[in-house]
Structure 1
C-alpha cells in the first residue's frame, strides 16, 4: 500500500521530482466582484437554484454545457458564461465586457494587474469600444491560487486599464479558458448587437488537438487530483479513455493520456489493464521515469519482481534524484539484495528530508533501515 500511495501521490501530484518546490503565488487580490454568487466546482443543480432557466440560455460545450446570462440581466453588467462538465460540475466561467469596463473604481485590482507580467500583448479592434481605445495595446494577464487560474484581458494605458474579459477556471482546464482563444476573442469582435469588429484571422489561439480530447483529459486530471471534492478514479478512467478515443494526434499528449489511464487502472486494482496502458505509453515515449516507475509498481504487484526491479533501476538511472523510484527500488530489493535495499532507503531519506508530504514513507523507510542494519 505504501508504494501504491507513493505512485499516485508523487507521480501525479508533483511530477516525480525529489523535492518539489512550489513557486510563490502571483498577486491576485481584487475588489471587482465577479465570481461572487457561485464558485468553481459548484454543482449545476445548485447553480440553477440561483439562476432559473428564465435568466439564461444554454448551449453545448463539448460534452458539457455552457449557460449564458446576457449583459442586460447580469449583476456584473457583462455577458456571463458558466461552463459545466458532463458531470454537471462548474469548471470555468467567462465574463465579457464588449464595451469595456473601466477599472478606475477598482484600485486593488488595478494594483494587482500592474504587478503582473503580460503573457500576450497584441492589438484588438473591438466594435463597441471607442476608436481611441482600440488604438491601445491589449494584454493578457494571469494570476490565481493553488488550484485555480484567473485571467484578465485588458486594454488601454497602464494607469487606466479597461477590462474586456475575465476568466476563472480550475487548473486542469486552464488552456480551454484563455481569453486569447480565438473563439473568445470573437465574442468581443462580433458581439451581438454590434457592428462587428475588424477580423484578424491570425489573432487568438486555436487547439491543435481535438477539443474533445483536451476537454476529457482535463476532466480526468480534475478527478484524479481531487480538484472538486475527493479523488474519483472511476471518472478519471472514463475521461482518459474518451480523450484517447477522440483522437490525440500529438504523441506526447497521447502518451501522457495512456500513462494517466494506466495509473487510474492501477489504483482501481485492474493491473493487466494498467500494464497495457503503461506499455503503450512507453512505446510512444520510451524513457519517461514516472511511467517506468509506475510500470515497475504494476509488475511487482503482478508478481514479477525482477521486471519491476529493472524498471525502477532504469528510472533512477534516467533521474538519479527520483526519490519515489528509489523508495520502490529499495522495497523490491529487500529479499534478493538487502545491502542494495539499505543503500536505496538511505538515499531516499536524504532526498526527501524536510518534505512534509513524505512523512509516511519516511517513517516506513527509517523502520526498514533499522531492520536491515541488524
Structure 2
C-alpha cells in the first residue's frame, strides 16, 4: 500500500513539474499566447459581470483612428516644385500623354517631371540613375503592374520625390507603392498610405534612404508592412510611420544596417504589430525619435531584434528617444532571443511600464500625466524636415 501511495505522489510531483516547465516555456518563448489568454479572460469577465467590469475599468475604451490621425499628424503638404500644368508629364522638353509612356522613354540619367493631378496608372522603370519628381499635388493611386506595385523599379540609383501613393493592393496581399527590384533608392517627401505596403524590396536592394516622408495605414494579414526591406542598408530620417494595420509592422527590415533618426513611429489605436522588427539583427540605431505603442496593437513588443536569424555581429544603439507604452497588456520595449550589450540603450524617456528590463540608464514615468505629456493621443513631434539633406544625392 505504501508503495502505491509513493507512486501516486511521484506521479503528481512529476506531472506538476512538467506542467510548471511547460507554463514557463510558454511564458518565456511564446508570450503572445499568455496575452491572448489574458485578453479572453478579460473579455469574458466584461461580458459576464458588466457592472463589476465598469468599476474595475476593464471595459475597453472606444477609439477613433481617423480622428486620432487628424489630431496627431499635420496635414500633408505637397511641395510646389517647378510650375507645371495639371496632368503635364515631361522629360526635358518632351511631353507624354501618360506615365507609362514617359517611364518607358526614360534613359539612364533622365529626370521625369510630373505635374499636379491624380494618376490611376502603374509603371515599370528599367533605366538607372533616374529621378521621378512630383511638382505640386501628385497622387498615384489604385493601380498595380505585374501583380507587384504602382512603381516597380528595376533600375539602380533611383530618386522619387514629392509623390503621394494610395490604394495599392494585389491578390498576394503585398502590393506596394514602390517595389524595388534594382539597387539603391531615395524616397524624399513621399506620402504612402492605405495600401498593402509602402516599400517592398528584394534580398539585395543596396542602400535605401527615406527622408521627410510619411507611411500611414499600411499592412495586410501580418505579411505586409509599412516598409519591408529584404537586405542592404536602410536609413530613415525625419519621417512618420503611423497606424500599420492587419498585424503589420511599421518597419520590418532584414538589412544589415538600420538607422532611424528624428522620426515618429506610432500605433495609435490601430491593430499593428511591432513598431520596428529587425528580423535578422545587424546594426540598429534609433535616436532622437518618438516611439508610441498604442492600446490596440496586437504585439507586446515595441522593438524586435534578431528574432528570426542571429548570425550577424549585432550592435544596438537606442538613445535619446521618447517611448510611450500604452498597450492594453504587457509592454516590452526590446525583445531579443539572447542577451546583448545594452550599454548603448540609454538616455531615453520611457512612459509606461517596460517589462523587458531595458529601462536601466533611462528616465521612467508611470503615465502621461507624470511625464507632462498631453492626454491620449497627443504626441510630441521630433521630425524636422529642414535637417541636413546632403546625403540625398547619388554621388
TM-score (norm 1): 0.29
Higher relative contact order (CA 8 A, sep 6+): 1
Higher strand share: 2
Higher helix share: 1
